[in-house]
Homo-oligomer: A and B are copies of this chain.
Amino acid sequence: MEKKYEDMWLSSLSKRSKRLQSSVIRELLKVTQYPEVVSFAGGLPAPEFFPKREIEEACRHLIPRNGEKMLQYGATEGVPELKEFLSEKMRKYGVPSEPENILLTSGSQQALDLIGKVFINEGDRVLVSEPTYLGALQAWWLYGPEFVTCGMDEDGVIISEVEDVLKEGPIKFMYMLPNFHNPAGVTISLERRKRLVQLAEKYNTFIVEDDPYGELRYEGEDITPIIVLKKERVIYLSTFSKTLCPGFRLGWIVAPKLTLKKIIQAKQGADLHTGTFVQYIVNDLCQRGILKAHVAKLKKVYKERRNVMLESLEKYFPKEARWTYPKGGLFLWVTLPEGTDTEVLFEKGKKNNVAFVPGLAFYPNEKGRNTMRLNFSNTPPDRIREGIKRLGEMLKEEL
């Protein structure tokens, strides 16, 4: 394109758009798609277990009977039957909610973006853990917050560090991944959840509880969601992307009614409403108990994969490496000795046909160079062994 046109477009960009960044993960996934690469990089469910037959049956059954509704515009709030189902599911799960507390979103990612739109002013302090979910950073950076951080250990966020941040000055909200944290793989203990709520009360702020993996627990007991402890101070997010499939782009928000109204208004402008077609399909799978059975199956599959990864790490990784022990979810988190650079390792991995996500991507502040995220849901057991072996050998050469 001629320079004068390029200049015109560039000079037309909004200030906020200068904060836009490409997702590191989405870029690096492009180089890890070859079949010879063992990739622990994505956050993808195992496609070989998608309930294809059940989804196809739902389409065959629903379209002739209900196609006129499924294919038409729908309410911004979501398909009423699915909202009803979700509010009941949430209640069983211990989350107090009515259909008026629920909004269907185009994946959880949209929920994050809408929260950014509705709450974040430029310069607002937003508390995130170190590391934190990359997609939240990506959605919110645009709105110009200052990310303030707290560390984590095996029991989740470190409460004293959270309080240190709160003492320094007001924050807009705390962003928490309670179960099987992406990327860290750890779960916030009940004791700490209670402390987070107390801190929200004391410092008059709220919590965004992002829970995509809660149903994928492979051992131990479910821990009470933060929203149950204090629904007046929590917006809760979840999604069907990990329990059913991501290709439908279907998630939901639970929030206080008046606050949800604002979020619904923002959603109207953002995409009118979430696809009605996929909402009716998912509603059918939920109502017929298919999703529940599918989650039970996934838990078996993913537990085995997690176990194989943990065993392989023990066997092949150098003794200097440490990793988290996830009781559910899709990820574990490896910490290497200070001074190791996992971005350099990533490049070496490419040559050895093994991939992961360098940890840097999950920090808002350039930290985490010696860390990496490993996904175990998307790779069959034998390939996990092979990939961890390759990675272990690389690391042993390196350290």
Contact = CB atoms under 8 A, between A and B. Distances in A.
B15 A121 contact: yes
Contacts of A272: 107, 109, 135, 249
Contact of A20 (B245, B269, B271): B269
Contacts of A205: 8, 12
Contacts of A20: 118, 262, 265-266, 269
Residue from the set A16, A143, A269 with the largest chain B CB neighbour count within 10 Å: A269
Contact of A12 (B2, B26, B173, B271): B173
Interface string A27-67: 00000000000000010110110101101100110011001
B269 A73 contact: no
A362 to B, nearest CB: 15
Contact of A248 (B71, B124, B247): B71
Given A17-B118, A110-B270, A113-B271, A63 B55 contact: yes
A226 B148 CA distance: 47
Contact of A70 (B42, B143, B247): B247
A39 to B, nearest CB: 13
B47 A71 contact: yes
Nearest to A265: B20
A369 interface: no
Contacts of A135: 269, 272
A192 to B, nearest CB: 22
Given A247-B71, A272-B109, A256 B5 contact: yes
Interface stretch (A84-92, A273-281, A321-329, A387-395): A273-281
A56 B59 CA distance: 6
Contact of A274 (B4, B75, B249, B259): B249
A140 to B, nearest CB: 8
B271 A109 contact: yes
A26 B232 CA distance: 28
A64 B44 contact: no
A17 B270 contact: no
Contact of A68 (B48, B120, B249): B48
Interface residues of A, number: 93
Interface string A129-151: 00000010011111100000000
A73 B42 contact: yes
Contact of A266 (B17, B26, B42, B52): B17
Contact of A245 (B71, B76, B172, B259): B71
A162 B172 CA distance: 42
A212 to B, nearest CB: 12
A181 to B, nearest CB: 19
A281 to B, nearest CB: 8
B60 A269 contact: no
A44 B262 CA distance: 25
Interface in A270-318: 270-278
A90 to B, nearest CB: 18
B56 A71 contact: no
Contacts of A21: 265
A162 B153 CA distance: 61
A138 B269 contact: yes
A246 interface: yes
* 8 smallest beta-carbon distances between A and B, as pairs: A71-B245, A59-B59, A52-B67, A47-B68, A247-B276, A71-B247, A56-B63, A20-B265
Given A56-B63, A59-B63, 15 more contacts: A10-B258, A16-B121, A20-B265, A44-B73, A50-B67, A50-B72, A53-B64, A55-B71, A56-B59, A70-B247, A107-B272, A110-B271, A135-B269, A249-B275, A275-B275
